[in-house]
């Protein structure tokens, strides 16, 4: 098949045949290493993984037969077996000859079990590599010996380092194609060393290999007598895994589920993130800060005397303290911090760009909260590591930004604790996972800025005015009639001695929001500010009327969340686009159609009508005055 015959990884067939019990005993005590392979399109990643599977006998006869027939049909290696075909799973990518997603592969040797995340090398797939790397203990960075350190090599190394992988292997592949030349290898290693240092990679292991021919994969190759080892497999079998280092850190366990089968049992279930726990240990529940001690570690196989990082357990406490999903149980005298404002690295993973100011779900451990992100401090060019100014983040962009959450969360810096420092962001409307992030630290602001309690309460403000505060939030297309109707509503309320204030879109943009334009990101910020102002005015006891296009559902929902229950009335001024455009009071539609006005709602920027507004006003069916009358009647029955 090839001219280098690789030694099989297993010498154990004999043991399996002679003494299966002894073999099982060994296998039972194996540890597990998860790693990723990264490289450019033609660096031979899939071939290397195919080789590892083949050499560790994870390929069966029937799969091999299928592989041989596939190799002839679509293979790129002529008559030889194309190992890549074994790995490239999905039909679409087999046709294109590339890997397009994260695939997980399994093999084991005498010492360890391995899970390999195969991640693609294309520029547009940063998100896949970050995904694969997030669970990895080690990264194998593949380099084509003929090409040396490429832009992609730098990018993959940066990403692996960013996600916190400490063990990096530089596998200089295709050594067979450069005549196993030591000088070529040394030059590449020297080149890479300089780069690695510049991005903070302290150490890496370099090795010359050929995935295709099998050199230095399982055993040292006679073709590279100048290389002293280790072979790739030897190295993978001996490096330290993450869970081993996690066990030495202070105890933390995010609570997943409260186990309450009957009144006599109350246990808290979770996966231990770091440290270890024993019955009798003093623990603190965060964010409440209540303390108790552990009485039992309950499992189906009997109570445990100790549990360590990486185990899923159920803990019972000596005291009946409040503890539920989202809380974190921690060592009593060394608990993690609690905060609501952070600096974080964000990897954007969605086609729709990040919108600073928009509310996203943030999931960290078992906590899910609402978070808003500020404009990035900078974006990182993943090819040059330069910091660039950025207003937002696009698909596959990586940046650093401040973010704030609507409640305090229990956290630790990502560098100390992946579980309490790594998070995902979820779009509230599409439910898609749009970003991954890593918390750096809390902003001291959060610790030092306290809510100032005032003696004259919001209820008192409202009582003085003899009214219930409210926000009448008008939304609709430009020219729908929002300002006209809002103005009439305010006049009617004033006549009824109600204390009101009208916030108008155009007027606000002359002052408070004059720094904002009409991009999606600016529209979100516009609405956020107006929402905050409206909220302060309701605290002052006012009835606030707002007239803004406010085209996005998520921002209107965000404002709704800011207000006290029952005080937010969303009023959809529902005028069909054709009708609004026909009226064109301000002549804006004409300009937009002529291309003189960009990002105009209804023309080249979307309007998302409310699903379930408190009121819907059909302006084609009633006059502005009738509409205002109806709205006032709804507010003050």
Partner 1 sequence: MLDKKTLTHLERLEAESIHILREVVSEAEKPVMLYSVGKDSAVMLHLARKAFYPSPPPFPLLHVDTTWKFRAMYDLRDRMARESGMELLVYQNPEAKDRGINPFDHGPLHTDMWKTEGLKQALNLYGFDAAFGGARRDEEKSRAKERIFSFRTASHGWDPKNQRPELWNLYNARKNKGESIRVFPISNWTELDIWQYIHLNDVPIVPLYFADKRPTVERDGMLLMVDDDRFPLQPGEEPVMRSIRFRTLGCYPLTGAVESQAKTLPEVIQETLLTTTSERQGRAIDKDAGGAGMEKKKQEGYF
**What positions carry a catalytic annotation?**
550
Asked if 108 interacts with partner 1 (CB under 8 A), we say yes
Asked whether residue 595 is marked as a ligand-binding residue, the answer is no
Asked if 406 interacts with partner 1 (CB under 8 A), we say no
What gap in Å lies between CA 40 and CA 151, rounded to an integer?
9
3 state DSSP class of 70: helix
| Distant-in-sequence, close-in-space partners of 100: CB < 8 Å, separation ≥ 6 | 90, 92, 93, 120, 125
Asked whether residue 477 is marked as a ligand-binding residue, the answer is yes
Cβ–Cβ < 8 Å for 356, 85: no
Asked whether residue 89 is marked as a ligand-binding residue, the answer is no
Asked if 247 interacts with partner 1 (CB under 8 A), we say yes
User: Could you give the angle at the alpha carbon of 452 between the alpha carbons of 450 and 456, nearest 5°?
Assistant: 165
Asked whether residue 456 is marked as a ligand-binding residue, the answer is no
Asked whether residue 231 is marked as a ligand-binding residue, the answer is no
Asked if 36 interacts with partner 1 (CB under 8 A), we say no
Q: Give the residue from 570, 513, 559, 505 showing the smallest Cα distance to 537.
A: 559
Q: Give the residue from 296, 310, 170 showing the smallest Cα distance to 249.
A: 310
Binding segment for partner 1 among 142-150, 374-382, 432-440, 452-460 (CB under 8 A)?
A: 432-440
Quick one: 131 or 152, whose CB is closer to partner 1?
131
Quick one: 252 or 523, whose CB is closer to partner 1?
252
Asked whether residue 40 is marked as a ligand-binding residue, the answer is yes
Asked if 122 interacts with partner 1 (CB under 8 A), we say no
Among 424, 471, 534, 617, binds partner 1 (CB under 8 A): 424
What gap in Å lies between CA 305 and CA 604, rounded to an integer?
64
How many residues bind to partner 1 according to rule CB under 8 A? 87
Give helix 458-465 / helix 520-539 axis angle, nearest 10°: 70
For tokens 């529209």, what's the residue? 523
Among 375, 433, 487, 564, binds partner 1 (CB under 8 A): 433
Asked if 243 interacts with partner 1 (CB under 8 A), we say yes
Q: Give the residue from 39, 56, 187, 172 showing the smallest Cα distance to 118.
A: 39
Asked if 265 interacts with partner 1 (CB under 8 A), we say yes
Quick one: 119 or 467, whose CB is closer to partner 1?
119
Query: Own/partner pairs for 191-199, CB < 8 Å, 24+ apart?
Result: 191/148, 191/149, 192/143, 192/149, 192/153, 192/157, 195/149, 195/154, 195/157, 196/157, 196/168, 198/385, 199/154, 199/157, 199/158, 199/161, 199/385
Minimal distance, residue 623 CB to partner 1, in Å: 37
Asked if 17 interacts with partner 1 (CB under 8 A), we say yes
Minimal distance, residue 106 CB to partner 1, in Å: 5
| Distant-in-sequence, close-in-space partners of 165: CB < 8 Å, separation ≥ 6 | 36, 133, 136, 137, 138, 139
3 state DSSP class of 63: helix
Asked if 299 interacts with partner 1 (CB under 8 A), we say yes
Asked if 457 interacts with partner 1 (CB under 8 A), we say no
Minimal distance, residue 121 CB to partner 1, in Å: 16
What gap in Å lies between CA 504 and CA 488, rounded to an integer?
13
What gap in Å lies between CA 565 and CA 548, rounded to an integer?
21
Give 551-612 as a DSSP string: --HHHHHHHHHHSPTT-EEEEEEE--HHHHHHH-TTSHHHHHHTTSS-S-BTTTB-----SS
Quick one: 196 or 426, whose CB is closer to partner 1?
426
Asked if 110 interacts with partner 1 (CB under 8 A), we say no
Q: Residue 310 corresponds to which tokens in the numbers above?
A: 């990486």
Minimal distance, residue 431 CB to partner 1, in Å: 4
Asked whether residue 479 is marked as a ligand-binding residue, the answer is yes
Asked whether residue 406 is marked as a ligand-binding residue, the answer is no
Per-position x/- string for 55-84, each x denoting binding to partner 1 as judged by CB under 8 A, each - no binding: ---x-xxxx--x---x--------------
Minimal distance, residue 464 CB to partner 1, in Å: 43
Asked whether residue 279 is marked as a ligand-binding residue, the answer is no
Among 24, 388, 415, 494, binds partner 1 (CB under 8 A): 24
Footprint on residues 195-224 left by partner 1 (CB under 8 A): none
Please state the length of the chain. Answer: 637
Quick one: 63 or 383, whose CB is closer to partner 1?
63
Footprint on residues 84-103 left by partner 1 (CB under 8 A): 89-92, 94, 100-103
The verdict on whether omega for the bond into residue 230 sits within 30 degrees of 0, i.e. cis, is yes
Footprint on residues 124-163 left by partner 1 (CB under 8 A): 127-128, 130-131, 134-135
| Distant-in-sequence, close-in-space partners of 210: CB < 8 Å, separation ≥ 6 | 4, 173, 174, 175, 176, 216, 221
Q: For 422, how many CA atoms within 13 A lie in the half-sphere containing its CB? A: 15
Among 11, 28, 497, 620, binds partner 1 (CB under 8 A): 28
| Distant-in-sequence, close-in-space partners of 308: CB < 8 Å, separation ≥ 6 | 247, 272, 275, 276
Asked whether residue 288 is marked as a ligand-binding residue, the answer is no
Q: Residue 322 corresponds to which tokens in the numbers above?
A: 């409040």
Among 165, 196, 209, 436, binds partner 1 (CB under 8 A): 436
Minimal distance, residue 271 CB to partner 1, in Å: 4
Binding segment for partner 1 among 171-179, 222-230, 266-274, 444-452 (CB under 8 A)?
A: 266-274
Per-position x/- string for 316-335, each x denoting binding to partner 1 as judged by CB under 8 A, each - no binding: ---------x----------
Footprint on residues 343-402 left by partner 1 (CB under 8 A): 349, 361, 363-366
Minimal distance, residue 403 CB to partner 1, in Å: 16
Cβ–Cβ < 8 Å for 200, 157: no
Q: Hey, what's the torsion of the CAs at 544, 550, 554, 555, to 10 degrees?
A: -50
Phi and psi angles of residue 103, each rounded to the nearest 5 degrees, phi first: -120, 145
Binding segment for partner 1 among 337-345, 372-380, 415-423, 527-535 (CB under 8 A)?
A: 415-423
Asked if 431 interacts with partner 1 (CB under 8 A), we say yes
Asked if 548 interacts with partner 1 (CB under 8 A), we say no
Q: Residue 386 corresponds to which tokens in the numbers above?
A: 């330069």
Asked if 582 interacts with partner 1 (CB under 8 A), we say no
Quick one: 226 or 265, whose CB is closer to partner 1?
265
Strand order across the 500-504 sheet:
500-504, 543-547, 470-475, 568-574, 615-618
Quick one: 439 or 592, whose CB is closer to partner 1?
439
Asked if 226 interacts with partner 1 (CB under 8 A), we say no
Among 7, 16, 76, 586, binds partner 1 (CB under 8 A): 16
Q: Give the residue from 110, 108, 71, 109 showing the smallest Cα distance to 87.
A: 71
Asked whether residue 118 is marked as a ligand-binding residue, the answer is yes
Asked whether residue 39 is marked as a ligand-binding residue, the answer is yes
Asked if 112 interacts with partner 1 (CB under 8 A), we say yes
For tokens 């189906």, what's the residue? 300
Quick one: 313 or 588, whose CB is closer to partner 1?
313
Binding-site residue ranges: 39-46, 118-122, 173-176, 476-483
Binding-site residue ranges for ATP: 476-483
């Amino acid at each position: 098949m090839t001219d280098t015959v690789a030694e099989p990884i297993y010498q154990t067939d004999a043991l399996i045949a002679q003494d299966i019990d002894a073999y099982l005993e060994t296998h039972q005590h194996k540890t597990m290493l998860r790693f990723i392979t990264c490289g450019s399109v033609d660096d031979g990643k899939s071939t290397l993984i195919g080789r590892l599977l083949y050499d560790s006998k994870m390929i069966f006869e029937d799969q091999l037969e299928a592989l041989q027939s596939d190799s002839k049909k679509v293979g790129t290696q002529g008559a030889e077996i194309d190992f890549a075909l074994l790995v490239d799973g999905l039909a679409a990518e087999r046709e294109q000859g590339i890997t397009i997603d994260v695939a997980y592969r399994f093999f084991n040797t005498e010492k360890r079990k391995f899970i390999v995340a195969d991640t693609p090398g294309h520029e547009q797939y940063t998100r896949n590599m970050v995904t694969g790397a997030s669970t990895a203990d080690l990264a194998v960075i593949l380099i084509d010996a003929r090409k040396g350190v490429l832009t992609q090599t730098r990018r993959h190394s940066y990403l692996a380092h960013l996600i916190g992988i400490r063990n990096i292997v530089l596998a200089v592949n295709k050594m067979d194609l450069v005549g196993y030349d030591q000088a070529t290898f040394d030059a590449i290693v020297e080149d890479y060393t300089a780069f690695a240092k510049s991005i903070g990679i302290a150490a890496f292991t370099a090795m010359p290999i050929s995935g295709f021919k099998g050199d230095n994969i399982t055993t040292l190759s006679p073709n590279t007598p100048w290389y002293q080892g280790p072979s790739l497999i030897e190295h993978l079998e001996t490096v330290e895994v993450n869970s081993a280092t996690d066990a030495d850190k202070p105890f933390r366990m995010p609570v997943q589920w409260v186990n309450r089968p009957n009144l006599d049992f109350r246990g808290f279930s979770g996966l231990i993130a770091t440290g270890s726990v024993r019955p009798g240990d003093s623990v603190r529940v965060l964010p409440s800060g209540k303390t108790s001690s552990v009485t039992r570690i309950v499992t189906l196989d009997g109570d445990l005397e100790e549990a360590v990082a990486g185990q899923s357990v159920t803990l019972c406490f000596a005291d009946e303290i409040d503890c539920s999903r989202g809380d974190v149980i921690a060592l009593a005298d060394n608990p993690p911090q609690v905060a609501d404002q952070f600096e974080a690295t964000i990897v954007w993973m969605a086609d729709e760009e990040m919108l600073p100011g928009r509310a996203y779900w943030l999931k960290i451990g078992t906590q899910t909260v609402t978070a808003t992100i500020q404009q990035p401090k900078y974006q990182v060019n993943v090819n040059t590591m330069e910091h660039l100014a950025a207003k937002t983040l696009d698909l596959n962009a990586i940046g650093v930004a401040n973010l704030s959450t609507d409640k305090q969360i229990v956290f630790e810096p990502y560098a100390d604790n992946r579980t309490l420092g790594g998070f995902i962001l979820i779009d509230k409307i599409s439910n898609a996972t749009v970003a991954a992030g890593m918390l750096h630290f809390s902003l001291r602001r959060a610790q030092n800025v306290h809510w100032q309690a005032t003696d004259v309460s919001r209820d008192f403000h409202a009582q003085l005015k003899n009214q219930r505060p409210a926000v009448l939030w008008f939304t609709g297309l430009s020219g729908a009639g929002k300002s006209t109707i809002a103005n009439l509503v305010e006049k009617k309320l004033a006549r009824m001695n109600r204390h009101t204030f009208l916030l108008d879109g155009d007027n606000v943009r002359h002052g408070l929001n004059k720094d904002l334009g009409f991009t999606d990101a600016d529209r979100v910020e516009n609405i956020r500010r107006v929402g905050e102002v409206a909220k302060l005015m309701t605290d002052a006891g006012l009835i606030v009327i707002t007239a803004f296009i406010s085209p996005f559902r998520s921002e209107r929902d965000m404002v709704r969340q800011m207000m006290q229950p029952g005080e937010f009335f969303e009023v959809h001024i529902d005028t069909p686009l054709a009708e609004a455009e026909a009226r064109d009071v301000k002549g804006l539609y004409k300009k937009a159609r002529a291309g003189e006005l960009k990002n105009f709602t209804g023309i080249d920027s979307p309007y998302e009508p409310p699903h379930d507004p408190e009121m819907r006003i059909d302006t084609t069916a009633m006059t502005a005055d009738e509409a205002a009358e109806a709205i006032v009647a709804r507010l003050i029955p």
